[in-house]
Amino acid sequence: MKVAFAGLSHLGVCMSIAAHTWGLDVLAFDLDQERAARIAAGEFDAAEPDAIDFLQSRPDKYRVASEALDLSDADLVLITVDTILTAENENDETEVTEFINFVAGKVDRDVPIVVASQVRPGFTRSHVPTHPEIFYVMESLIFGQGIERARFPERYVVGCADPERPLPSSLRSFLELANCPIHIMTLESAEFTKLAANYLLSASITAANSLAELAALLDADWTVVESALRDDQRIGSNAYISAGLGIGGANLIRDLHGIKALSDQLGTNSSLVSTILEHSDYMKRWVVRMLSPLRRQQNISQIAVLGLAYKPGTQSTRGSVGLEISELFSSSWEIRVHDFAVKLSPSSLQKLRIKQFDDSVDCLKSADIIILATPYPEYRTTLQRYLSSMPRSIILDPYRLVEPDLVRNTDVQLIQLGRA
């Protein structure tokens, strides 16, 4: 079976590589010729090492091309372009529509077109009159685990114009390769499932952050509380209850704004989603609240910010607490930054008035305050190794990477979210 992937974003690259590992003949293309050329050359700017290794040794049955690609022999086409997010945290689905129309003009009318891009409820249905064989499949990739999640999905959520009608054989065959549950429903239900999942994850994150802050004030330790909660089957070991600096990245925030817009439009109560958004902003200012009183101390001149990506496994800095801190305090202190995946341009460094280091140890040397802004496990190892020899300093650790016992009998003051 020959499957085409239209859009070489993070989603498209990871899903197409996964399809190839299942033994499929893959056509991967993009309307952006420069983007297609970079992928064809083995260049990929997402933090997916397995993807880079695959692209640089690309096998015969994985072809990359631009819009000149002939799709006439494709059995199935998936739309996998990343949906553009506006400054107002809304979906701009223009490019998704462009890809749908392009593909529809290249394939027979009975070839299924499957939208895997993130779209609002009702979007796919709007294309049914002109493209009757259009479907929606919910993606659930995680940055840094994209190929693994695409190869071994927990389930497929499939939206159809008519759920009572059997799926086209090519689509059914593709879905069954993953050997996971397949939930078939209307287009609107499938699109809404994505919003609902991210809403519930965000609510769980918000509850954990709120409880962690309260725990510290009660001399309780959120880390041990969290461990006990995960053994509660009603909560579960995979629950999003590791407290930190609000809701990171763009996707969850976008979907929260999408839920709020739908609630306001249809007249349902949106107070909970508003509270979640407000609390996320509040938690992102935790470091600022800890730092602000220290501005008056004369013995502080350098701050080391460890982490610029909004989470490990991505190069995205949208909603980055590390960048916000750097921008806010660069006029008061010398700001030194480090990240394993994010490399700021010289112009950005000059604009922010900060210095970036390639080595995390060089970054934290001589720093008066160390801020763990992204919970890379490597930072735990670095600090454990150098804590005993560090001069008097303050560590702000919202993710509880440092064990409190390590700073006892040292000149280091450890301030953690969720611990007194």
420 by Cβ neighbours in 10 Å (0-12 / 13-18 / 19+) ranks as: exposed
120 HSE (CA, 13 A, CB side): 19
d(CA 212, CA 200): 18
Structure tokens at 360: 């995390």
Indicate left, alpha or beta for 249 from its phi (over 0: left) and psi (-120 to 50: alpha): left
C-alpha distances (whole Å) from 206 to each of 160, 212, 297 are 33, 10, 33
d(CA 271, CA 264): 10
Q: Does domain 195-284 have CATH number 1.10.1040.10?
A: yes
What average pLDDT does range 397-405 have in this prediction? Answer: 94
Structure tokens at 196: 């609902």
d(CA 113, CA 107): 9
Give the pLDDT of residue 67. Answer: 63
C-alpha distances (whole Å) from 22 to each of 15, 44, 60, 179 are 11, 22, 14, 11
d(CA 357, CA 317): 17
Structure tokens at 317: 């800095």
d(CA 28, CA 59): 13
C-alpha distances (whole Å) from 359 to each of 25, 190, 353, 374, 394 are 42, 45, 19, 15, 20
Q: What is the DSSP string of 322-356?
A: HHHHHHHHTTTSEEEEE-SS----HHHHHHHTEEE
Tens digits of per-residue pLDDT, 174-217? 999 999 999 999 999 999 999 999 999 999 999 999 999 999 99
Q: Would the CATH topology of 2-180 be identical to that of 286-416?
A: yes
Helix (H, G, I), strand (E, B) or coil at 210: helix
Angle between helices 10-21 and 49-56 (to 10 degrees): 70
Tens digits of per-residue pLDDT, 2-17? 999 999 989 999 999 9
pLDDT more than 90, % of the chain: 71
Give the pLDDT of residue 205. Answer: 96
In this predicted model, which residue has the larger pLDDT, 114 or 387?
114
* Pair 9, 106: CB distance under 8 Å: no
**Do the strands 302-306 and 334-338 form a parallel or antiparallel pair, or are they unpaired?**
parallel
Give the pLDDT of residue 172. Answer: 98
pLDDT more than 70, % of the chain: 99
CATH number for the domain running over 286-416: 3.40.50.720
Closest CA to 245 of 117, 390, 371: 371
- What letter would DSSP give residue 294? G
Could you tell me which residues are beta bridge partners of residue 303? 335, 369
d(CA 326, CA 288): 10
> pTM (2 decimals)?
0.90
What average pLDDT does range 322-326 have in this prediction? Answer: 92
CB atoms within 10 A of CB 105: 8
Q: What is the Cα gyration radius of the chain?
A: 24
Closest CA to 372 of 350, 394, 357: 394
C-alpha distances (whole Å) from 279 to each of 72, 209, 246, 320, 328 are 50, 9, 7, 16, 20
Structural domain 2-180, CATH architecture: 3-Layer(aba) Sandwich (3.40)
In this predicted model, which residue has the larger pLDDT, 42 or 47?
42
What residues does each domain of the chain span? 2-180, 195-284, 286-416
Structure tokens at 168: 């086209």
* Pair 3, 78: CB distance under 8 Å: yes
Tens digits of per-residue pLDDT, 109-125? 999 999 999 999 999 99
Residue 85's pLDDT band (boundaries 50, 70, 90)?
confident
